Amino acid sequence: MATLGSREPDPIDRQHGVSYYLQLKAILEDFIDKDHLKPGDPIPSEAELSRTYLLSRTAIRNALNQLQLEGRVHRVRGKRTVVSRRIPWDIQLEQKTDYRSFAEPYRLREALENKVVMGGPETVQALDLRSPQPVLHVMCTYDVQDPKGKVPGALARFWIVTGVSRPIEGLVKAGQVPEFELGGPSLLMQAGEEIRG
């Protein structure tokens, strides 16, 4: 498998109780995490993965679907699957500065939702939880001043595990949620302050 360099492919353990697609997913994650596959690099084709690991196309598609759901890869029908550019936003931007410098111009316009909900399957998977549990669900809009004076908007959604810190846990137990300053810095920056609280 040339795209993974000279490293020998990890074998699929056929005696183990773990599904083949989950083993392949773990193998690909390992290649990504150890920088054998970098952001923007193509993942080997389904045919290539099938030949290398002797797996069905169904197992390969399931592994790639899981990686896509977690934001690890980007898939477009009819094109090669590539490693995602991992940034703290739902949109794909080239970010060449640290997060604080990137987010500082964004000012919180409105909190559309700020409540505790029982996390469903999507939340369990996104936050790598063992089972459904209460999470803080926050959705907000932003304004940002760009050099030309225009004020574009942005929409962001966050899930925060309610037990992430004592301050958050205390608020939730009291039936409250964190208050976010409108016009203040990005919600993620404010939430970070709250979590460290």
Residue 132 lies in a domain: yes
Q: Which residues have C-beta within 8 Å of that of residue 195, sequence separation ≥ 6?
A: 160, 164, 165, 167, 168
Burial label for 59, CB within 10 Å (0-12, 13-18, 19+), is buried
Match 């089972």 to its residue by tokens: 131
Do 109 and 166 belong to one domain?
yes
pLDDT of residue 8: 61
Answer yes or no: is 69 within a domain.
yes
Structural domain span for residue 19: 2-83
**Of residues 19 and 190, which shows the higher confidence score?**
19
pLDDT above 80 for 56? yes
Clarify whether residues 9 and 54 are in a common domain. yes
Q: Are residues 78 and 154 in the same domain?
A: no
pTM above 0.75, yes or no: no
- pLDDT tier at 86, thresholds 50, 70, 90: low
Q: Which residue has the higher pLDDT, 66 or 149?
A: 66
Domain membership flag for residue 130? yes
pLDDT at 60 over 90: yes
Cβ proximity of 133 and 107 under 8 Å: no
pLDDT at 65: 86
Q: What mean pLDDT, rounded, does the chain reach?
A: 77
Last residue of a domain, one of 83, 118, 149: 83
Number of domain units in the chain: 2
91 belongs to a structural domain:
no
Nearest alpha-carbon partner for 161 in 130, 189, 185 = 130
Instruction: Tell whether 113 and 79 lie within a shared domain.
Output: no
Q: Is residue 88 part of a domain?
A: no
Note the maximum CA span of the chain.
62
What separation, in Å, do the N-terminal and C-terminal C-alpha atoms of the chain show? Answer: 48
State mean pLDDT over 122-136. 81
What is the mean predicted confidence (pLDDT) over 68-89? 73
Q: Averaged over 19-23, what is the pLDDT?
A: 88
Residue 74 binned pLDDT confidence (cut-offs 50, 70, 90): confident
> What's the confidence (pLDDT) of residue 2?
35
CB contact set of 132 (below 8 Å; sequence gap of 6+): 118, 119, 120, 121, 123, 124
- Comparing 98-112, 118-132, 135-149, the range with the smallest average pLDDT is 98-112
CATH number where 32 lies: 1.10.10.10
* Residue scoring higher pLDDT (185 or 176): 176
Query: What pLDDT does 87 receive?
Result: 43
**Residues in Cβ contact with 30 at an 8 Å cutoff, skipping those fewer than 6 apart:** 10
